[in-house]
Amino acid sequence: MRADDAAPDVESPAAEAPRQRFELDDRGFREVPRKYRKFYRKWEGKDDVLGPNEVLCPVCKVVVRSPRELRPGDRVYCMACMTRLRLAQLDGERMEGQVEY
């Protein structure tokens, strides 16, 4: 099978839109070393809205932040509770972290 015989309805990774980039600021999260504080913030309750670069850790309820847009299948690390999370899409819009270990 040649490369150009691939099914046209399958989207290649190269065809994905580039990920958005975000500038992170220190939000005062003191539970991790200083150089990693910009990657975490405290969860502000049920009215807190997560950005496309944020995911809530289901173990310790800390928001893990990334300098780039997060997509389903990405993996992030919560340094606060030492948990590895794999991201999954919920209800069409919200992103959830599922514990790997």
| Domain spans of the chain, in order of start | 19-99
pTM exceeds 0.85: no
Q: Which two tokens stand for residue 86?
A: 């794999």
- pLDDT, tens only, 34-73: 999 999 999 998 898 988 999 999 999 999 999 999 999 9
**Would you state the pLDDT for residue 36?**
92
Report DSSP letters for the chain, one per residue: --GGGS-TTSPPGGGSPPPPB---------SS-GGGGGGEEE---TTPPP-TTEEE-TTT-EEEE-SB---TT-EEEETTTTEEEEEEEETTTEEEEEE--
> pLDDT confidence of 13, banded at 50, 70, 90?
low
The answer to whether residue 20 scores a pLDDT higher than 60 is: yes
